[in-house]
Amino acid sequence: MATTSRRLGAEVFGTFWLVLGGCGSAVLAAAFPQLGIGFAGVALAFGLTVLTMAYAVGPISGGHFNPAVTLGLMVAGRFPARDVIGYVIAQVVGAVSAAAVLYFIASGKAGFSAGSFASNGYDANSPGGYSMVTALVTEVILTAFFLLVILGSTSKAAAQGFAPLAIGFALTLIHLISIPVTNTSVNPARSTGVALFASNGAMGQLWLFWVAPLIGGALGGVIWKWLGDE
């Protein structure tokens, strides 16, 4: 088994890649309609970040890259409670570091304005103008199903070696559903990193993108303990 420092380092780098790749596609590429990636391209970018890092460093740390995933795995009995705080701190460090690098890159263009900076939000900060309650329910349900995919695809009964594909495609699908609603979080670390640099008041709404994914992650863990009892 990898040492604690190596596992935490893997979580930092994995979460860094998720935020840089996923949020970077929104901030840099989707901002230019002529490039044509749109919502679908951003959704795919998020899925690809998780897929690639799950293969690259998943064998070291388990490839969580998300506090809600860490909590859900703990609730499902797949991860020790004593390691949760360390993983969450590593994930937030990776997310904030990636957001800082992304801000540096994006601000290299004349006339740059951070704006929403790929942050998550509801009401005026929702891409589609969806309410706080709608955002809360959406994030809880989608995070719960994300955990079901993760727990099911990594179970002993699942085909070995294909879990990163299932998880990456699931995250892509989640983004295709919920980008118009919340700009898709299902990941408190991802939300925190970019909210720190946004200029649209995203920090004031950040609480929801911790509370809802954590509830959803725990709910997914509880459902799996009953559904897929190993």
Mean pLDDT of the 34-48 span: 89
High-pLDDT (> 90) share of the chain, %: 90
How high is the pLDDT of residue 153? Answer: 96
How high is the pLDDT of residue 2? Answer: 85
How high is the pLDDT of residue 106? Answer: 95
Q: pLDDT tens across 145-165, in order?
A: 999 999 999 999 898 999 999
- Distance CA(38)–CA(30), nearest Å, equals 5
How many domains are contained in the chain?
Answer: 1
228 pLDDT band (50/70/90 cuts)? confident
Tell me which residue range forms the domain holding 172: 4-107+116-227
Q: What predicted TM-score, i.e. pTM, was given to this entire model?
A: 0.96
CATH of the domain at 143: 1.20.1080.10
28 pLDDT band (50/70/90 cuts)? very high
Per-chain mean pLDDT for the chain: 95
Count of alpha carbons within 13 Å of 16, Cβ hemisphere only? 14
**How far, CA to CA in Å, does 65 sit from each of 44, 189, 218, 220, 226?**
17, 8, 16, 17, 25
